[in-house]
Amino acid sequence: MNPLLSRLQPYPFERLRQLFAGVTPNPAYRPISLGIGEPKHATPEFIKEALTGSLAGLSVYPATAGEPKLREAFRHWLQVRYGLLGVDANTQMLPVNGSREALFAFAQTVIDPTRDAVVVCPNPFYQIYEGAALLAGAQAYYAPSDPARNFAVDWDAVPTEIWNRTQLIFVCSPGNPTGAVMPLEEWKKLFELSDRHGFVIASDECYSEIYFGDTPPLGGLEAARKLGRTEFPRLVSFTSLSKRSNVPGLRSGFVAGDSACIKQFLLYRTYHGSAMSPVVQAASVAAWNDEAHVAANREQYRRKFAEVTPLLAQVLDVRLPDASFYLWAGVKGSDTEFARELLSQYNVTVLPGSYLAREAGGTNPGAGRVRLALVADTAECVEAAQRIVQFVRKSEVTS
């Protein structure tokens, strides 16, 4: 067996299952889960129709690079969403089976484990980054975050010795779990570090279309163009339909950026056998070419967060994020005990923040926080928030 598998830590939801072992949720309440970031809004009918109307595609093997019509849909969306002109649909983008699969596979493409490789991750972070780094034979380095800046990464705190060994850096903007969006000056700093040390930037942007202000989140490719980096050197962005279009089961997204990185990634994927089904491609084309359903989806989240956030702010350290569908809430005391007792007393599931981070520099930046995924309908999320308020107030009285 691959000895690197032994380096993997239990996935957060496995740890949650172990945490809840022996807990009997209060049967007076129906179960409500805010623990998993799985979109629950309805899948648009036109996407379903595009899928079922393309079943003839099951009779052919798909090309790893995708059909020209699909890549053209990617190119058009990048132009509409980010104002990016001149991105080559043939050399600078590829379809992927969801951003999670692609983020993992990309690390296997980029990392040279014979060179004492380091992969830099934000902390807290999406666990795939760590697993991808470890199974590529690299060391994961957890860049510290600043709670005073909504857990934005403090890139200046990363030692030069680490940057000298870094081959890949994972960036998540809007962030999971905090919802923070990287500004242009932060991208400028990362690009300068990449130029100096030669590492590749993997920009995870799967939450880019769920935001609460008037200005859409800045994307990595967009930032590069604004800073005059026309060919996106050592930069690849990852995006997905799962959250944008409420199709997590479709497993569809795309990567775009540096043509040299894309060329090597295509070579890896050709052998990896990760071509997208023609049926999924047809549904994806329909989804990428429509913005009306995305705006409607975003409005649902805006109304929901507007109702839920003030309720929770009465008892938790929480505020509206820049983007994404999570609330990153501070609790008093242990985050794991909070999650366990909340399930026991009020049948609401939340994810302990310490499960989404690693101890670094003597501290776990997720400790004392919980992640709340507001993915269900508004009424259910409001009910969950009301139960959490009751739980916290009851705990304060009895403590």
* Structure confidence by residue, pLDDT tens digits, 51-79: 999 999 999 999 999 999 999 999 999 99
Judge if the upstream peptide bond of residue 27 is cis by omega within 30 degrees of 0.
no
- Confidence grade of residue 399 (pLDDT, cut at 50, 70, 90): low
Q: Determine phi and psi for 32, rounding to 5 degrees.
A: -130, 125
**Closest to 355 measured CA to CA, from 143, 124, 100:** 124
Residue-wise pLDDT for 7-45, tens only, equals: 998 899 999 999 999 999 999 999 999 999 999 999 999
For residues 358 and 213, give the distance between their C-alpha atoms in angstroms, rounded to a whole number.
31
**264, HSE (Cβ side, Cα atoms, 13 Å):** 14
Share of the chain above pLDDT 70, in %: 100
Query: Domain 3-42+293-398, what architecture?
Result: Alpha-Beta Complex (3.90)
184-216 tens-digit pLDDT: 999 999 999 999 999 999 999 999 999 999 999
CA gap 331, 329 in Å, rounded: 6
Q: CA 63, CA 56: separation in Å to the nearest integer?
A: 15
Q: How confident is the model at residue 397 (pLDDT cuts 50, 70, 90)?
A: confident
What pLDDT, on the 0 to 100 scale, is given for residue 147? 84
CATH 3.90.1150.10 in the chain: give the residue spans: 3-42+293-398
79 dihedral zone (left: phi>0; alpha: psi -120 to 50; beta) = alpha
Q: Name the pTM for this structure.
A: 0.96
Confidence bin at 180 (pLDDT 50/70/90): very high
Q: Would you say residue 94 has pLDDT above 90?
A: yes
DSSP structural state of residue 323 = B
Q: Which residues in the chain are classed under CATH 3.40.640.10?
A: 45-291
CATH architecture of 45-291: 3-Layer(aba) Sandwich (3.40)
CB 374 within 8 A of CB 308: yes
Alpha-carbon distance of 98 to 206, in angstroms, equals 9
Ramachandran sector of residue 198 (left: φ over 0; alpha: ψ -120 to 50; beta: rest):
left
Q: Which of 172, 142, 76 is nearest to 359 (CA)?
A: 142
* pLDDT at 87 > cutoff 90: yes
Question: Does residue 234 sit in helix, strand or coil?
Answer: coil
One-letter identity of residue 169: I
What pLDDT score does 146 carry? Answer: 86
Q: What is the pLDDT of residue 225?
A: 97
Which tokens in the block code for residue 139? Answer: 């060391």
How far is the C-alpha of 125 from the C-alpha of 165, rounded, in Å?
20
**Cis peptide before 25, with omega less than 30 degrees from 0?**
no
